[in-house]
Chains A and B, each alone.
Chain A
């Protein structure tokens, strides 16, 4: 709870004004029945119309004030909660921006998105409700209780009996219904997953003619959901009648006991009617409180989930960097005894004893089977992850001593799982360099073999890409991603299996441009195909987290068993000689 106070502070006046104005409404609600009682007790009983009118006008004035209070409270409440929510959302988002890759892996992007959308809305709504209810409900409860006791303390004993029973019953109903509702929610989620899967897998379903099977399974899940729903709602619909029953019981006893008092003359009639109103106010406040508790449990789950993000220790920072102003200039890369694992709990390292030196301007190929650690290895260069053992040096300086900004400015990386964003192609390419001239953009696209197809679109570079770039083909997407990285003119360029959907000839042309414009940059290419790395100055063969061979194509073909195996799996033997 304490953490949220920081977000309340800038809007403290709204947070105070909102509930304060609400109090006006509550005061009105509590005083009104008393004024009405006065009309009956003094005005009517003494046949004094003048007194009645005075009281009446007071009540009307009160109501007008109550409108002001209600509307004002609503306004400031909305302002307070919305500003609060917006600031929280912004902070969570900003925090996510500082996350390292391992932080992101830990939460998964999907869960981060839900936290930023759903959970923020959840606590925002709760704050809004709280501001409207937090003084109102207890205020009403206390105010009405006070008035009731003042009117007739003995009659108020009825409440002493009914209130605890009501609270217990309410708590009981809530307690039973909570797990039932969570069960229902889980079933809703399950059913949604089922539908989502069915829709995304529709080709599989249809090609195996499993429509009936899927229907059967859906019907079962749907039927179960209905049962769970009936079960949960079945309890909660008890709430209303049971509470009404209690209120009725209370008013019956009040009329009975109070009536007796009126009959013997120990209480004026007007007080009895006022008392009944107060009883209603008290009991309905109790119901409100139960609703607040229900909301609270939902909001606290969200608050916890947001807290987790805000409290997450950022996995890597450049706070202790010794050379913050240093830029990547040459592009010499050196791995010294590097060891790495993704999770502290993992038994096996993903990278084991990596020692490797790459000279500026070299083209280096990395090859090896899936899961052998190629991607992990190159991720150490722009410090996407930090090594557990050993060190990675660029131009002789530990990557941890660069500022993250300068380091990543110097390293261009095309990720295996690459993403384009909604917006024009030009806007996407400008990610590489937002101040690039038109010529530079075209040149980068040309080098990535993307210019031709971009121009084939009717709107060329202004073509709008859908979210995730789904309206271009896989190969086109990869080439756009390469162009984006090229525009950065990085000292070190890393391509992580980034041409898998590009045909061999086009890929060869892309590699050809590396020899021209990017002559001085260090280039690291991870590939599945031997043909992609064959011409490299140096090829690194990896297996199971270790480097098993370093050399040129011809050297490795002679000496490295792994390399030979990969080679022969891709080429016919007769072609080796060709």
Chain B
């Protein structure tokens, strides 16, 4: 079947040996089954060849024109033997598939599990640096390609080679001279199969590239369809689309053509071989040098001869894409994991929530500082706010508190101990976060809130929802707390999603709370209404607030104004207004106009 839009690709893996060895590590767990399956393959192939061969003695000895019915008993016996061989063949085919299904599905399960488990251990940096789509394709395409190979190729390789050799052996045994005809054809078969395979891989690659470009364009322009309409840009879009579509059309014809001719060319070349054999064999028979039964069997063999070659040639593509996929999967598995517990010497116990940043310097990439000499102290229960324009480094600070990223210089202390000295997981358990981008999971509302503390009771879930002022809208949903949320809560408004995020943080008992633009999509009136809830949420917790809307930070114990990674002003709301500095400008939005 022709490939789908994002099917295989044919990049050769760089380190084939190591990749194969590692794949064998997975299937190796099923050594017993594999060996059994291979035994079945051998039995199946032998039975196949024997079944074809049995026709010779049957025809030669028992089916002689006009010989009368006394031969019938012998024919019956012969057929019984043949039936036995057929039965063995069928049973071994089934057993082999059955065994390999278990091997391949279990190995795939193990690979997926390992990959996922590894994913959980990777640092946030890795996810920031790699596109979600790229990571996803390892879970989907690459694992699928490995699966294709596990299911088909292993068996096909063994079976194909065995069948090839077996057929050849049987042909030699049946008639060595006729075999020569086929042997002459063999290099031709292999050459054509190889040539067609190469050609089709080349066109296939081009097709995939064109298809990728077209699909990318479709994705982008359809997703932006509303903008297209507003700007009357439909005609241009159709024009650009048509160009890509035409390009794909050209590339596809080549790919499909060369992909499709393997069968007819190989199959019919072997028909020529069959015809030649039939002719020469027929002449031999006519001259009494060969028997009819032998000829019947022989032409069948030569007719089948191209099947294993074709099969093997097809496997090349499958194997290459599987190995390339496996390489990408293993590459992800080999990423350096987070080192959260390496220096854990201190136990986090009864944390008060005293947080201090001392001379913190940080940059995501070396040499490009995002935060410069940040000094902030938060006493237990205090509310610290960071304000400033986009890109000033506000969110970065929250990334450092819970060690999503490690700082390069300076230190961050919680209750007087440097955070690197705690077990990183413990550290994160002590910090509840409400992030800028609202992220919910497929599942019920209840499950989503409970994500904050898994052992929370239903009452506690409701309590948390009330704190976040989410209770009333949840009750208005079709099934209340048991309403299913689809794909990242798409059936909720942005503001409602934020309220659920807040509820999720509210349910955790962490002594430190980080609110990163937690209410940016909640309108100011609603925000005002949830103020009490937020006060309750922040009570007795050290809170870091990042807000665009300055009205939400007014009552902070300390407001830090960030610009270009530096704290340029600090103080309470009143103090900062009195300064008439940057905060004043931001707050009133007037200064620049005067």
Query: Does A557 sit at the interface, judged by CB under 8 A?
Result: no
Contacts of A244 in B (CB 8 A): 86, 89-90, 93
User: 1/0 per position for B579-594, CB-CB distance to A under 8 A?
Assistant: 0000001111111110
> Does B91 lie at the interface of the complex (its beta carbon under 8 Å from any beta carbon of A)?
yes
Whether the pair B435, A204 counts as a contact (CB closer than 8 A) is yes
**A-contact bits for B271-301, CB 8 A (1 contact / 0 none):** 1101110111011011110001001100100
Pair B120/A66 contact, Cβ less than 8 Å:
no
Whose C-beta in chain A lies nearest to the C-beta of B514?
Answer: A207
Q: Is the CB of B431 within 8 A of A207?
A: yes
Question: Does B476 reach chain A (CB closer than 8 Å)?
Answer: no
Q: Do A570 and B101 have beta carbons less than 8 Å apart? A: no
Bitwise, A185-206 to B at CB < 8 A (1) or not (0) is 0000001111111111111111
Alpha-carbon gap, A25 to B271, bound state (A): 11
B124 in contact with A203 (CB, 8 Å): yes
Contact residues in A for B94 (Cβ distance below 8 Å) = 237-238, 240-241
Q: In whole angstroms, what is the CA distance A215 to B113 when docked?
A: 8
User: Cβ of A222 < 8 Å from any Cβ of B?
Assistant: yes
Contact A467 B229 (CB under 8 A): no
Q: Are A419 and B227 in contact (CB under 8 A)?
A: yes
Q: How far is the CA of A36 from the CA of B275 in the complex (A)?
A: 8
A226 to B58, CA, bound (A): 46
- Contact between A195 and B548, CB atoms less than 8 A apart: no
A432 at interface by CB-CB < 8 Å: yes
- Pick the contact of B135: A96, A199, A259, A265 (CB < 8 A): A199
Contact A262 B63 (CB under 8 A): yes
Let me know if A201 and B589 touch, CB within 8 A. no
Residues of A within 8 A of B223 (CB): 109-110, 113, 419, 468
Chain A positions within 8 Å of B282 at CB level: 39-40, 43-44, 49, 52, 55-56
Stretch in contact with the other chain, from B16-24, B318-326, B371-379, B487-495 = B487-495
CB distance from A413 to the nearest CB of B (A): 5
B264 engages A74 (CB within 8 Å) = yes
**A545, chain B: closest CB distance, angstroms:** 15
Q: How many residue pairs between the two chains, A and B, have CB atoms under 8 Å in the bound complex?
A: 445
Of the candidate stretches A154-162, A348-356, A503-511, the one touching chain B is: A503-511
Q: Which residues of B contact A56 (CB under 8 A)?
A: 275-276, 278-280, 282-283
Name the B residues within 8 Å of A121 (CB-CB).
Answer: 4-5
Considering the chains assembled together, what is the distance between the CA atoms of A35 and B267 in angstroms? 18
Contact present for A71 and B265 (CB under 8 Å): yes
> Which of B76, B222, B241, B528 interacts with A90 by CB under 8 Å?
B241
Instruction: Report chain B residues within 8 Å CB of A446.
Output: none
Cross-chain contact of B268 among A70, A234, A468 (Cβ < 8 A): A70
Residues of A within 8 A of B129 (CB): none
CB-nearest residue of chain B to A272: B63
Contacting pair B90 A248 (CB below 8 A): yes
> Is B540 among interface residues, defined by CB-CB distance under 8 A?
no
Contact B522 A252 (CB under 8 A): no
| Minimal beta-carbon separation of B376 from chain A (angstroms) | 20
List the B residue with the shortest CB-CB distance to A567.
Answer: B524
* Binary CB contact string for chain B from 58 to 83 against chain A (1 if under 8 A, 0 otherwise): 11001111111101100110010011
**Which of B30-38, B164-172, B245-253 lies at the binding interface?**
B245-253
Write the chain A residue with the least CB distance to B85: A248
B109: Cβ under 8 A from any A Cβ: yes
Q: Once the chains bind, are A62 and B275 in contact (CB under 8 Å)?
A: yes
Q: Which residue of A lies closest to B280 (CB)?
A: A56
Docked-complex contact B439 and A201, CB < 8 angstroms: yes
B493 near A260 with CB under 8 A, answer no
A82 touches B493 (CB 8 A): no
> If A200-B439, A223-B109 touch, does A421 touch B592 (CB 8 Å cutoff)?
no
B487: which A residues are within 8 A, CB to CB? Answer: 193
Q: How does the 8 Å CB contact mask read for A238-275 relative to B, with 1 for contact and 0 for none?
A: 10110011001000100110011011110011001100
Q: Mark A111-138, 1 if CB is under 8 A from B, else 0.
A: 0110011100100110011001000000
Residue B347 CB within 8 A of the other chain: no
The answer to whether B124 touches A113, judged by C-beta atoms less than 8 angstroms apart, is no
Residues of B within 8 A of A70 (CB): 261, 263-265, 267-268
Beta-carbon contacts of B505-535 to A below 8 Å, as 1s and 0s? Answer: 0001000000000001111111110000000
* B428 at the binding interface (Cβ < 8 Å): yes
Considering residues A79, A117, A565, which has the most beta carbons from chain B within 10 angstroms of its beta carbon? A117
* Interface status of A180 (Cβ within 8 A of chain B): no
Q: B265 contacts A59, CB within 8 Å?
A: no
Q: Does A566 contact B (CB under 8 A)?
A: yes
Does B257 reach chain A (CB closer than 8 Å)? yes
Do B442 and A382 touch (CB < 8 A)? no
Interface pairs (30), CB distance under 8 Å: A36-B299, A40-B296, A59-B274, A71-B261, A73-B264, A81-B256, A125-B2, A129-B1, A201-B439, A201-B441, A203-B439, A204-B451, A208-B428, A208-B429, A208-B508, A211-B120, A213-B454, A215-B117, A238-B94, A245-B90, A260-B69, A269-B59, A272-B59, A368-B523, A384-B230, A422-B220, A484-B231, A504-B588, A505-B585, A506-B389
The 4 residue pairs across chains A and B that have the minimum distance between CB atoms? A56-B279, A70-B264, A504-B589, A59-B275
